[in-house]
Structure 1
Amino acid sequence: MPDVILVTGGTGLVGRGIKWVIENEPEGSRFGKRPGETWIFASSSEADLKDPEQTRKLFQKYKPTHVIHLAALVGGLFKNMKYKLTFLRDNNLINDNVLHTSYETGVKKVISCLSTCVFPDKVTYPLDETKIHLGLPHDSNFGYAHAKRMVDVANHAYKDQFGCNFTSAIPTNVFGPYDNYDLEGAHVIPALVHKCYLAKKNGTPFIVGGTGKPLRQFIYSRDLAKLFIWQLREYDDVEPVILSVGEDEEVSIKDVADAIVKAVDFRGEYSFDTTRADGQFRKPATNKKLLSLIGDFEFTPFQKALDESVQWFLQNYDTARTGVKNST
Structure 2
Amino acid sequence: MNLEKRVLVTGGTGLVGKAIETVVKEEKQTGAHEVLNETWIFCGSKDADLRDKVETDALFEKHKPTHVIHLAAMVGGLFHNMAHNLDFFRDNMSINDNVLHASYKYKVVKVVSCLSTCIFPDNVTYPIDETMIHNGEPHTSNFGYSYAKRMIDVLNRGYHEQHGCLFTSVVPCNVFGPHDNFSPSCGHVIPALIRRMDDAMRNEEKTFTVWGSGKPLRQFIYSLDIAKLFLWTMRNYDSIEPLILSVDEEDEVSIAAAAEAIKHALGFEGRLLFDTGRADGQHKKTASNKKLRSLFAPEFTPFHLAVRDTVAWFRDHRDTARL
TM-score by length of 1: 0.94
Number of the residue aligned with 2:63: 62
Tell whether the 8 Å contact from 1:203 to 1:268 is kept in structure 2 after alignment.
no
TM superposition shift of 1:79: 2.5
Number of the residue aligned with 2:101: 100
Tell whether the 8 Å contact from 2:74 to 2:88 is kept in structure 1 after alignment.
yes
Tell whether the 8 Å contact from 2:24 to 2:35 is kept in structure 1 after alignment.
no
Tell whether the 8 Å contact from 1:213 to 1:252 is kept in structure 2 after alignment.
yes
Indicate which of 233, 238, 241 corresponds to 1:239.
241
- Distance in 1, matches of 2:182 and 2:265, equals 16
Tell whether the 8 Å contact from 1:84 to 1:143 is kept in structure 2 after alignment.
yes
1:73-222 → structure 2 map (5 Å cutoff): 73-204=74-205, 205-222=207-224
CA-based RMSD of the aligned residues comes to 1.4
TM superposition shift of 1:106: 0.7
TM superposition shift of 1:27: 4.4
- Distance in 2, matches of 1:262 and 1:87, equals 34
One-letter amino acid of the counterpart of residue 201, structure 1:
R
Tell whether the 8 Å contact from 2:139 to 2:282 is kept in structure 1 after alignment.
no
Count of residue pairs brought into register by the alignment: 319
One-letter amino acid of the counterpart of residue 316, structure 1:
H
- C-alpha offsets along residues 110-162 of structure 1, whole Å, 9 cap, x if unaligned? 00001111111111111100000111112221111111111000101111111
One-letter amino acid of the counterpart of residue 130, structure 1:
T
One-letter amino acid of the counterpart of residue 248, structure 1:
E
TM superposition shift of 1:28: 4.9
- C-alpha offsets along residues 50-83 of structure 1, whole Å, 9 cap, x if unaligned? 1111111111111101000000111222322222
Tell whether the 8 Å contact from 2:76 to 2:186 is kept in structure 1 after alignment.
yes
One-letter amino acid of the counterpart of residue 232, structure 2:
W
1:298-317 → structure 2 map (5 Å cutoff): 298-317=299-318
TM-score by length of 2: 0.95
Number of the residue aligned with 1:290: 292
1:179 counterpart SS class: coil
- Distance in 1, matches of 2:100 and 2:258, equals 37
TM superposition shift of 1:109: 0.2
Number of the residue aligned with 1:50: 51
- Distance in 1, matches of 2:235 and 2:112, equals 11
- Distance in 2, matches of 1:163 and 1:87, equals 29
- C-alpha offsets along residues 251-309 of structure 1, whole Å, 9 cap, x if unaligned? 11122111111111112333333444433322200000001011x22101111111110
One-letter amino acid of the counterpart of residue 50, structure 2:
L
One-letter amino acid of the counterpart of residue 219, structure 2:
Q
One-letter amino acid of the counterpart of residue 55, structure 1:
T
1:68 counterpart SS class: strand
- Which structure 1 segments of 5+ residues have no match? 323-328
One-letter amino acid of the counterpart of residue 269, structure 1:
R
Indicate which of 22, 25, 29 corresponds to 2:24.
22
Tell whether the 8 Å contact from 1:27 to 1:34 is kept in structure 2 after alignment.
no
Q: Return 18-27 or 229-238, whichever deviates more.
A: 18-27
Tell whether the 8 Å contact from 1:49 to 1:55 is kept in structure 2 after alignment.
yes
Shift in CA distance, 247/150, structure 1 to aligned 2, threshold 3 Å: same
Tell whether the 8 Å contact from 1:27 to 1:35 is kept in structure 2 after alignment.
no
Where in structure 1 do 4 or more consecutive aligned residues deviate above 4 Å?
Answer: none
Identity %: 58
- Which structure 2 segments of 5+ residues have no match? none
- Distance in 2, matches of 1:75 and 1:214, equals 18
- Distance in 2, matches of 1:188 and 1:194, equals 10
